[in-house]
Structure 1
């Protein structure tokens, strides 16, 4: 069958899958005796950070979670930020903590992220969380990769026994994505900027996940016909009006070859926030069990 004869790829839209995940988070939150509580820490007034934090707080309220925004001034010192984190760690009424990045240039994010109580690290990026993930033990998982797994489950995309290729090796997406897929019994290859003949690797994938941060890196000739392609990339490319438009790491024409493809925007993006709120609920459940024993749902 030629490319022209193939049906367009099935769109794996994020909003329906995110709504299902948020519904599950709401149901589980209601089963808890205490409403899960998310602390959102923001330093400075970066417009994007202000918007992201506001959106997360709004979505938390829609799901029935509590949240508080701790907005610190631009000139906040590292010691002041760490003091707030330690206070939130010690507060049993706070179940999840998120430090919104990027921080102002004078603040190194690593000490702040390492200071988080791993039980409350809803971004899932603390080294303890990483160790639990790679040893296949229960723990909080990074939001975007875990959101991708939820998206695949929602659309009943087979993972076990599949040959999965990830393009990108970041600690935010590529590396944890590899661990999650291994834990789900996929055969996993991680490719990156120094991989020779990238197309030869990606054409071998039943499941191709692209998180490289390069617009239209993956072209139709690099994709196995019928493969499932998950585009995690978000890039702004120039347009004639000067505003630019959002596009992914996967060229739109891949939709003529792939069997299923996530759109950009409207694919993986909604899953990240939904998974953040699910992580908050999971953190609250585990903290309840630590104190009170088995949770009855």
Structure 2
């Protein structure tokens, strides 16, 4: 029997990635759509032949799992309600915009023992999965990464996104780089941050095992400077991470597979679950403080949850 999903969100990412992916997946059934804009929710639901829901809890009552494509602060509230209702979670990055919100999600998931996946796109690329499996035990000294986007480029579907413009590259594209660096170098202990031109930010990270990494992020940079480049260095030499070799839709299909696998096995837990999502938020929050206060900030470790 297919896992019944409720979709929360009505924007481009919700329609073209989440809704399309769930509707096409043989192990999933898209049941209904909820959105803050009821007209958009109705239009998206009609497009996929499902029901629009005016109430969050009504949709939660009719499904087994939720897929959330909303701004991170809104996602955090929906995720806690869904987990407390016993629903499995397919969430987007970043998990939340504050560490307390991320902790509340982890606590709810732990209380109800539900499955969770945070859709870090690069982590569901077969070449990246293979690279990380081969690199996790390497004697790495550090990494350098650069992710430069151009959100104001004409035709960019996220160009009018308020939360992206408010929180910038640190919170929007920083999770992509961290999702690749953390599995290889381990958790981050300390962060320094420096603002750069055009809203960019540059991070220096000290990992708990002693490695260091430097990350440069810009969400609204020049079109000609767009890049995604992460390179590790150490005893194995200098090794760049592979570029994505699947479409976003194919990566999302794999994320749904990952959630279904947990549910079928009755064993919640995945390398990109909400606990990993919380680890990423902890680094981002510390970096935000470091940038604002121009000092080195300690990253709080994960704490036990009730």
TM-score if structure 2 supplies the norm length? 0.45
As a proportion of its length, which structure holds more strand?
2
Higher relative contact order (CA 8 A, sep 6+): 1
